[in-house]
Amino acid sequence: MFKCKVTQKKIKPFMSFGSMPLANGFLKKSQFKKEFFYKMEVGFNEDLSLFQLAEQPEAKLMFNKDYPFFTSSSNFMINHFRLFSKWLKKNNYLKNNYNLIEIGSNDGTFLNNFKNTSINFFGIEPSKNMSDLSNKKKIPALNFFFNFENVKNLKKSIGKTNLITAANVICHVQDLNSLILGIDLLLNKKGIFIFEEPYLGSMYSKVSYDQIYDEHVFMFSAHSVKKIFNIYGFDLINVIPQVTHGGSMRYVIGRANEHKITKNVEKILQYEKKNKIDSFEGCLNFKKKCLESKFLLKEKINRMKSMDKKIVGYGATSKSTTILNYCGINSKHINCIFDTTKEKVGKFTPGTHIPIVNMKDFNKYNKDYVYLFAWNHKDEIFRKEKKFKKDGGKWFSHVKL
Ligand code: DWN
């Protein structure tokens, strides 16, 4: 287990989710006996207003040559990153010939938008299968973890990078100290760092506690981001809410006193104070709601089973690992989970061992209820799966659909 010197100080633990496997540790039957588990506990660092895991498994256990999540598995996300690239140009964060680096570039979905432009770009991606795939698509990606030690070798980029981006990545990085020192080293004087992540405020309001799993070591808010970056001489200069991944926030960071701070920042800070997103009290309210949500979900599923209803899942998400293990839901309750990812199909869910099956068989499978684990993609999925509802099938989830 890793501990970061900046964020690990004075964490007040407040809730345990019990024994948890790796969220993306989809496995074969032959691997059941050797499965890795850790104790998943969350806490709050009051100095930084930071919601985080108390401890996280080693990064290389999670991000390696078998990483099974592909950004391009959602058309909505492909479009989101296309719009993001346009937004960057419109807001002058990217101009002709600028140097751009993406941290955690996955399969290259975002950087693909800069092919055949004057932007000099590359990604840094620790999962080998992803960086290989990206390079195969002629989207350059270096295969290592973004940290100070590793980026010291990027001589051509030091002090010359105009923009660094990351999406759904920074909340996965254990050592924020090393990450931010790396960003500081690469950016030029006016350089900007933009990242978007699932937002703590959205997780609180939706009680989407499935955002908490091994990979998500932090659940950020504007308060925590501002406090962390201020330590390193950076300002939080803008925040823009996003609908992606069940409610995210885009944070814009620049060197202190080099940029105008937008009114959005003060607005969101006030909103967070009012809704106790910046304090320990918010954690305790959230814990109560998680316990209620677990109780109601188990009651609902037990009721369905007592009526002999057939339940299947939709989307073998990382998030579903938290729900299934925390609520004790397994293959006695859910027959199988449908997914489009070929790296997941034929395997079983971590810890609870529910079979993952090919999405192409979804329509022909006999079922009464579908648990939408990929609830964050519901608009895209409901558009695709109109037939199921039309035939009398019912969707459900632990969050409001
Ligand atoms: O932060 C992270 C986010 C961005 O992605 C990572 N830690 C890992 C991953 O989390 P996730 O697995 O919870 O993400 P998604 O995007 O909710 O996963 C969707 C799953 O559902 C994928 O396995 C693909 C699948 N899917 C599908 O089968 N049919 C998705 C869509 C949209 C579909 O139509």
Give pLDDT tens digits for 337-365.
Answer: 999 999 999 999 999 999 999 999 999 99
Kindly report the protein residue whose alpha carbon is nearest to atom 26 of ligand 1: 315
* Confidence class for position 1, pLDDT limits 50, 70, 90: low
Q: What's the pTM value of the predicted model, to 2 decimals?
A: 0.96
Pocket test for ligand 1, best of 109, 206, 318, 357 (most atoms within 8 A of CB): 318
The span from the CA of 79 to the CA of 296, in Å, is 35
End-to-end alpha carbon distance in the chain:
36
Q: Residues enclosing ligand 1, CB less than 6 A?
A: 69, 73-74, 168, 215, 245, 315-319, 339-341, 344, 359, 374, 376-377, 380-381
Tell me: pLDDT of 335 over 60: yes
Rounded Cα distance between 174 and 121, Å, is: 25
Q: How many angstroms separate the alpha carbon of residue 117 from the centre of ligand 1?
A: 29
CB 111 within 8 A of CB 123: yes
Minimal-distance CA residue to ligand 1 atom 21 = 315
Q: How many CB atoms lie within 10 A of CB 139?
A: 24
Distance between Cα 362 and ligand 1 center (Å): 17
CA 379 – ligand 1 centroid, Å? 14
SS3 105: coil
Q: E-assigned strands of 221-333?
A: 234-242, 248-255, 311-314
Tell me the percentage of the chain whose pLDDT exceeds 90. Answer: 95
Over the chain, what is the mean pLDDT?
Answer: 96
Atom of ligand 1 nearest to the CA of 167: 4
